[in-house]
Amino acid sequence: MTAQSFVYENAQAASEACALKLIELLGRALASQPRASIAVSSGATPKLMFDPAHFPSANVHRVQGELPPKEATKIYGPGEPLIDDHKNLAPVYAEKFHQWRFTLLPAVLEAARNSLMLAAGDDQAEALHARLHQPYDPQKYPAQITTCHGEGARWYIDKAAARRIT
């Protein structure tokens, strides 16, 4: 499935648009069932999305990754054997922090009805370009795993991160 990309002036605008879409999708889900689940990656960018005044958290199960991307790279290096596990969710021990962290494996992305990705900042431009335009290599670009049965994969991107997108 092809991903749709939406480019916004800045990180705040991209995160607000992504949050509004998330709230819309959650509203639809909660209209037909008592609870909904979302999985959220770690890092500073997703934090911009969760304004408690607008986010319907009472009936939403939120799984939040806790390992910042720069730390994940230092700890796990290029590629992680767990990325090939398409059936499970896994705890991973982060030696540097002396604690277990929850890792979202491909099974989460593959099971998603919808996937919303938020990329903001100039430091995301090269990685975003690679994720969207390089040959499929989930060891290098796990976001390429995203497949959806609902509306599809949607990228919300600020202009700085979008500078390399064609």
Please tell me the predicted confidence (pLDDT) of residue 8: 97
Please tell me the predicted confidence (pLDDT) of residue 64: 52
Element (H, E) at 106: helix 106-111
pLDDT digits (tens, 9 = 90+) for 35-63: 888 877 666 666 777 666 556 666 665 55
pLDDT digits (tens, 9 = 90+) for 96-137: 767 776 666 677 777 788 888 888 999 889 888 888 888 988
Please tell me the predicted confidence (pLDDT) of residue 105: 67
As a whole-number percent, the residues of the chain with pLDDT over 70 amount to 60
Please state the φ and ψ torsions of residue 23, each to the nearest 5 degrees.
-65, -40
What is the overall mean pLDDT for the chain? Answer: 75
CA–CA separation, 91 and 70 (whole Å): 19
CA–CA separation, 40 and 26 (whole Å): 14
Closest alpha carbon to 86 in 63, 111, 114: 111
Q: Which CATH class is domain 4-164?
A: alpha beta
Please tell me the predicted confidence (pLDDT) of residue 32: 93
Residue at token pair 């002036």: 9
Please tell me the predicted confidence (pLDDT) of residue 89: 61
Q: Do the beta carbons of residue 29 and residue 61 sit within 8 Å? A: no
Q: Do the beta carbons of residue 92 and residue 100 sit within 8 Å? A: yes
C-alpha distances in angstroms, 80 versus 12, 119, 142?
31, 22, 10
Number of H helices, E strands in the chain: 5, 7
